[in-house]
Structure 1
């Protein structure tokens, strides 16, 4: 027969079991929250190591705030566990009920914060993905930079073995050594973004040195060829310049002063320019022998520019004589060519109109008058045929400009 004492004892055991179940559930909730928080610590550390953007900074601040709430509910759970010894024999129904209530509340609070943590973790997805991508790039980027430095060093060794010093390239490669030291110190010291940036800069610098070193033998051959070619050209231009004096003599004999006066300086200028170019070539040869490749290239370019100018100057006298002979023999050809240009522009100006636009007609009318005056000047005692040629060229340029303006206006619907 069951006594009243036994009946109450079974009731206490049930309450104790309920309280224990609440304790176990709270412990599970605490474990799950702690695990999720630990995982998120790693995620946040990954993000902040790579990303210093406002979004990343907000994520770190939000996680800190969550950490405070986690500490609060964890503290409440631990306090509830410490406050109730569910194993003691004298646990009464009232104490068991309070334990179950407080532990259930602690479990619910832990689960609520765990839900907040889960939602926060979901929102971290884009930031975490970006950070992990950056981290995945880190080791390969550093290794590529190291390999590029090795390749540049090997290329320099090969160049030196061929008897070329390449001091400037060696200096550039040496300047990358401190950057390699920082790369070797790692992202923990300098941060992931800065390390990735440094690896890219080292890669570019080393690749540039390697490329230039590998091309150095070819560049040396190019400089030698250019030196020989420009020396030959300077000699040829010097010889051509000697023919300017006879051309000037013929111009003086057959044409008025205005036709050749501006060319009198050509022989003296030719001699000076050839001397300047040859001096540049001598300096370039010395720079090449001293393996100052950039200086050699610059000096060769300067010599070429001088010879280009001289070529045009020397050619000017012969061209002048040829053009003057042509217009002296048949000025009508030049006149007809110029009149045709004017008439062509006039026809276009009148196309689809009864009267031309004044801004088109006026320069064409002026051009007609200018041509007429140039033709009239040919009938003087000592005609200036060069002035005639420059005038007809200017008239044709005016006509061409009017044609271009008309076409632009019509293309724009004006």
Structure 2
């Protein structure tokens, strides 16, 4: 075919050639499509390797990384358990030192402080080991991971050993801790008992006031306990366990005493009134009896030697003086009772009683002297036989079960015999000193009784 104007010339190809070219193009397209999965597979690892992610297949390095991470986790657990144990044990140590200030307790505090320094050291080494190794690095080498595992394992082992030391120390605290906990358990009940005692004392004072009894001194003593109650309320944490227990016991004891005295006030008032009346009556009676001493002395002077009555010469005057003094003290006691100064009233009444007792004894002594002198003057032999019987009784006991008496017993008994003989000899003459004779026989009987008591004591003790 020839070209015509306006029409491009075309090249004529044989039909077979066109088919061959068309078949080659189709083959190339097919091969291209078949090669796409292989290229994609080769390209995927490169695509996922970017963006900071780890490689899927690390080999030995990844195994070492896992072992290092396990060592790190184990060390972290040991660190946490040691820290927890230390904090728990610190409570026990604080309990002991709060209660006990003995050398043993002070040693516990110092030992725990030293152990705390040891814990700080091993904890610091653990932290340094953790900070020294970044197990999340993408380029972590197997040697670095192995080194991290070794150091972290060593840190863990040291933490565990220190924990064992801490446990042993804690076990050694059992006796002191038990004692401290027992004392701590006593604090709250002791403080409560003190509070209740103060309340009871206050109520007792109110009851006494309702009966017209002022009890000012008791109220002052109760008010003085207020600062102590404040300290009890502040607690053992501020003032110490032992001090708090002692304070609570002291407050309870003092408040109990105040309560008892307040409750006794009505009875004390009644008793004071009764004693005032009784002692006043007794003083009046002694005044009458003292007036009877002069006739007794007159008879003694008339019938017996001066040595028998000379020591009684001052009895009438002394009796009158004592009674006057007693009456003065009674008036003072009455004033103290009206002012409700109970201790003063009680003290004054005791003085009155002592004065009247002394007077009573002196007045009675004059009459008893005359009675005894009359008896021995009438029958001195009765006194002699009574004394000899006491000596013989002691001698029989000294010889009981023995062939010869113990010199310690024989000597005083021999002396008693001689003393009695000398006393009997004084009865010779016109005006014998009967009173001297009676005092001598009394002394001889006391000596014999002393030997008897000593023998019985020695034999009772197996000597």
Q: Distance in 2 between matches of 1:187 and 1:75?
A: 36
Q: Distance in 1 between matches of 2:412 and 2:125?
A: 97
Alignment of 1:36-51 (within 5 A): 36-51=85-100
The reply on whether 1:64 has 2:113 as its aligned counterpart is: yes
Instruction: Please name the residue that 2:46 is paired with.
Output: none
The reply on whether 1:289 has 2:338 as its aligned counterpart is: yes
Instruction: Please name the residue that 1:126 is paired with.
Output: 175
Query: What runs of 5+ residues in structure 1 fail to find an aligned partner?
Result: 1-5
Alignment of 1:156-175 (within 5 A): 156-175=205-224
Alignment of 1:190-229 (within 5 A): 190-229=239-278
Q: Distance in 2 between matches of 1:100 and 1:270?
A: 109
Q: Which has the larger radius of gyration?
A: 2
RMSD: 2.3
How far residue 298 of structure 1 moved from its aligned partner, in angstroms, is: 0.9
Work out which of the residue numbers 139, 143, 146 in structure 1 matches 2:192.
Answer: 143
How far residue 340 of structure 1 moved from its aligned partner, in angstroms, is: 2.2
Please give the secondary structure, in 1, of the residue aligned with 2:230: helix
Q: Distance in 1 between matches of 2:79 and 2:421?
A: 107
The reply on whether 1:28 has 2:56 as its aligned counterpart is: no
Instruction: Please name the residue that 1:97 is paired with.
Output: 146
Instruction: Please name the residue that 2:389 is paired with.
Output: 340
TM-score, normalised via structure 2 length: 0.82
How far residue 369 of structure 1 moved from its aligned partner, in angstroms, is: 4.2
Query: What runs of 5+ residues in structure 2 fail to find an aligned partner?
Result: 1-54
Q: Deviations over 1:21-52 (max 9, x none)?
A: 11111111111111111211222222222222
Q: Distance in 2 between matches of 1:130 and 1:355?
A: 63
Q: Distance in 1 between matches of 2:185 and 2:326?
A: 57
Q: Distance in 2 between matches of 1:365 and 1:84?
A: 109
TM-aligned CA distance change 1:123 to 1:164, over 3 Å: same
Q: Distance in 1 between matches of 2:458 and 2:65?
A: 100
How far residue 174 of structure 1 moved from its aligned partner, in angstroms, is: 1.3
TM-aligned CA distance change 1:20 to 1:224, over 3 Å: same
Please give the secondary structure, in 1, of the residue aligned with 2:375: helix
Work out which of the residue numbers 167, 176, 182 in structure 1 matches 2:231.
Answer: 182
Work out which of the residue numbers 347, 351, 363 in structure 2 matches 1:302.
Answer: 351
How far residue 248 of structure 1 moved from its aligned partner, in angstroms, is: 1.8
Between the two proteins, the alignment pairs up a number of residues equal to: 409
Alignment of 1:292-371 (within 5 A): 292-351=341-400, 356=405, 360-371=409-420
Q: Distance in 1 between matches of 2:179 and 2:315?
A: 69
How far residue 313 of structure 1 moved from its aligned partner, in angstroms, is: 0.6
Work out which of the residue numbers 424, 431, 437 in structure 2 matches 1:382.
Answer: 431
TM-aligned CA distance change 1:317 to 1:18, over 3 Å: same
Q: Deviations over 1:109-140 (max 9, x none)?
A: 11111111111111122222222222222222
How far residue 212 of structure 1 moved from its aligned partner, in angstroms, is: 1.0
TM-aligned CA distance change 1:148 to 1:330, over 3 Å: same
Please give the secondary structure, in 1, of the residue aligned with 2:286: helix
TM-aligned CA distance change 1:293 to 1:87, over 3 Å: same
Q: Distance in 1 between matches of 2:405 and 2:249?
A: 64
